[in-house]
Amino acid sequence: RRAAFAALKGEVPITKDGHRVTVMVNAGLRDDVAALDLTGADGIGLFRTEFQFLISATLPQREAQRRLYKDVLDAAGDRPVVFRTVDIGGDKALPYLDHDENGEEENPAMGWRALRLALDRDGLMKVQARALLEAAAGRTLSVMFPMVSEPWEFDQARALFETQRAWLEARGHKLPLQVRYGAMLEVPALAEVLDILLPNLDFLSIGTNDLTQFLFAADRAHPKLAVRYDWLSPSILRFLHRVTSQTHAAGIPVAVCGEMGGRPLEAMALIGLGIERLSITPAAVGPIKAMVRSLDRASLTGTMTQLLAQPPRDMRAALQDWAETNGV
């Protein structure tokens, strides 16, 4: 099987009825970029910049950040890379940062983390913004913000980057040709105000790991809750369908970058909901390509519409059934 998936490296993920699905990888370390050539993926849909902070004994300085980002962009070449600003705080506390004012959090996943911390203590994000802007000089920079709950948070983060860009420009630094700004949708509240966010957004990336735990109020790491944390539940699928349709209607690209997209049955359901971009763990690229290439999207979309309108008790079994009957 492994050999069969490796053989798919050069194959394009396109459905039988001609729909191209963009399959990218999630990464976080310099060496992860090798996965692009190994798998033949279309790019890096999620680069988790906090990894550098988590493995470092001291706060990574701007130059160390810039070097990492530039190395990643160089290695990716023509393939796009989406950098996510740091998702630290909560359970990803950094020993060298003063988290004292934070104290022990009872619910770290819902705590002072990611963009919340970055906006309240914006020194860290200013440095990161400069490092990213400098690293992407002469090319496109795609940056996205984690845990956006309200449109103003995105606007503020974007403005912070724009201020840094102006600062660099005034000092004669070479700048990116273009900066694209995205939001992660992983806090359900954002979906209710998506119309307000969309005009300022260049792309949306749905983080189904956090989104699912918040939609179900079920800890993503709790073994006893695993059955209640089901990516194929009608509530998740309807939610994703609504968000995807609304965002596409505004002409804005949507990706899914959570682990859900790396499982063939779940990824099949996502494609049936209209998702055309996945960012997944490198080991899943082969299996997902194989699934995509066996798929008739038009017929899947019809089935998904029916299943969402009248969800069966066991959605997983229904989708599995459809897949088997249709040679997926």
* Count of residues that interact with ligand PEP, criterion CB under 6 A: 10
Angle (CA) 37 26 77, round 5°: 40
* Position among 44, 186, 268, 272 found at the interface with ligand PEP (CB under 6 A): 186
Pick from 74, 73, 213: which is nearest to 143 by CA? 73
Q: Which residues contact 209 (CB under 8 A, 6 or more apart)?
A: 186, 220, 258, 259, 260
Q: Is the dihedral of CA 208, 209, 211, 217 positive or negative?
A: positive
Residue nearest to Mg ion (CB): 210
87 binds ligand PEP (CB under 6 A): yes
- Return the exposure string of 121-149: e unless at least 16 CB atoms fall within 10 Å of the residue's CB, then b: eeebbbbbbbbbbbbbbebebbbbbbbbb
Q: 44 pairs with which residues across the strands?
A: 25, 81
Q: Which is nearer to ligand PEP, 186 or 266 (CB)?
A: 186
Kindly tell me which of 257 and 284 has the beta carbon lying closer to ligand PEP: 257
Among 179, 257, 275, 319, binds ligand PEP (CB under 6 A): 257
Residue 32's binding partner out of Mg ion, ligand PEP, none, with CB under 5 to 8 Å set by partner kind: none
Say if strands 140-145 and 254-256 run parallel, antiparallel, or are unpaired. unpaired
CB of residue 28 vs ligand PEP: minimum separation in angstroms?
A: 9
Closest CA to 247 of 216, 272, 207, 274: 274
- In the list Mg ion, ligand PEP, none, the entry touching 254 (Cβ below 5 to 8 angstroms by class) is none
Give the nearest distance from C-beta 84 to ligand PEP in angstroms. 8
For ligand PEP, give the closer residue by CB, 129 or 184.
Answer: 184
Which positions from 258 through 277 interact with ligand PEP, judged by CB under 6 A? 258
Query: How many of the other CB atoms lie within 10 Å of CB of 98?
Result: 8
Asked if residue 50 binds Mg ion (CB under 5 A), the reply is no
Site residues for ligand PEP, 188-247, by CB under 6 A, read 207-210
- Rounded least distance, CB 165 to Mg ion, Å: 26
Query: What minimum distance in Å lies between the beta carbon of 199 and Mg ion?
Result: 24
Minimum Å distance from CB 78 to ligand PEP?
24
Nearest distance, CB of residue 245 and ligand PEP, angstroms: 20
Q: d(Cα 297, Cα 328) in Å, to the nearest integer?
A: 11
**210 lies in the site for Mg ion, by CB under 5 A:** yes
208 binds, among ligand PEP, Mg ion, none (CB under 5 to 8 A by kind): ligand PEP
- Cβ proximity to ligand PEP: between 69 and 322 the closer is 69
Query: Quick one: DSSP state of residue 112?
Result: S
As measured in angstroms, the least distance from the Cβ of 186 to ligand PEP is 5
By the rule CB under 5 A, 207 interacts with Mg ion: yes
Q: Closest separation between CB of residue 208 and ligand PEP, Å? A: 5
Our CB check for ligand PEP shows the closer of 151 and 207 to be: 207
N residues, the chain: 328
**How much is the CA Rg of the chain, to the nearest whole Å?**
20
Q: Are 117 and 85 in contact (CB under 8 A)?
A: no
* 3 state SS of 248: helix
Q: Using CB atoms within 10 A of its CB, is residue 192 exposed (0-12), middle (13-18) or buried (19+)?
A: exposed
Segment interacting with Mg ion (CB under 5 A) among 55-63, 204-212, 261-269, 318-326: 204-212
141: tokens are: 């920079």
Q: Which residues bind Mg ion (CB under 5 A)?
A: 186, 207, 210
Q: Which residues bind ligand PEP (CB under 6 A)?
A: 46, 48, 87, 186, 207-210, 257-258
